[in-house]
Amino acid sequence: MLSRAKREGWTREIKNAKALAKREDFAPAVTATEAVAITMQQRGERHLGRMANIVEKTVPHVEAMEPSAILDRIDDVETLDKIGRRTFGISDGSSAENWAVNIAILGV
């Protein structure tokens, strides 16, 4: 592989391959516990994404309903509101702490 890389001028790849070959410590990049934590974090993020998608798809439907139909389904609307607030990190309070958390969730 190194000879082909040299022949075709893959200088960066050659340097990376040599660095890996010379590496003496073969410790795993992450421990098993860290791998589990990373996996759980990724699953949580995927779940939040799916829930956000559900909320974003259903809110326009609710908005298109007649007011009397919304009132007839108010429990469902409240549930949707609760799911949306939890998913997007929005609380009923208006304290500065909530804003900081919400901005952190958005990655700003």
> What is the model's pTM?
0.52
**The total number of structural domains that make up the chain:** 1
Structure tokens, 26: 């073969």
**What Rg, from alpha-carbon coordinates, does the chain have?**
25
Domain annotation covers residue 76: yes
**pLDDT (tens digit per residue) in 68-108:** 999 999 999 999 999 888 888 887 655 545 555 555 555 54
Domain annotation covers residue 37: no
Q: Enumerate the H helices of the chain as residue ranges.
A: 2-8, 11-22, 32-64, 67-72, 74-88, 96-106
User: Is 80 within 8 Å of 55 (Cβ atoms)?
Assistant: yes
Domain of 100, in residue numbers: 54-106
pLDDT of amino acid 104: 52
Domain annotation covers residue 38: no
Domain annotation covers residue 79: yes
Domain annotation covers residue 48: no
Domain annotation covers residue 33: no
Q: Identify the DSSP state of 73.
A: T
pLDDT of amino acid 72: 94
Domain annotation covers residue 94: yes
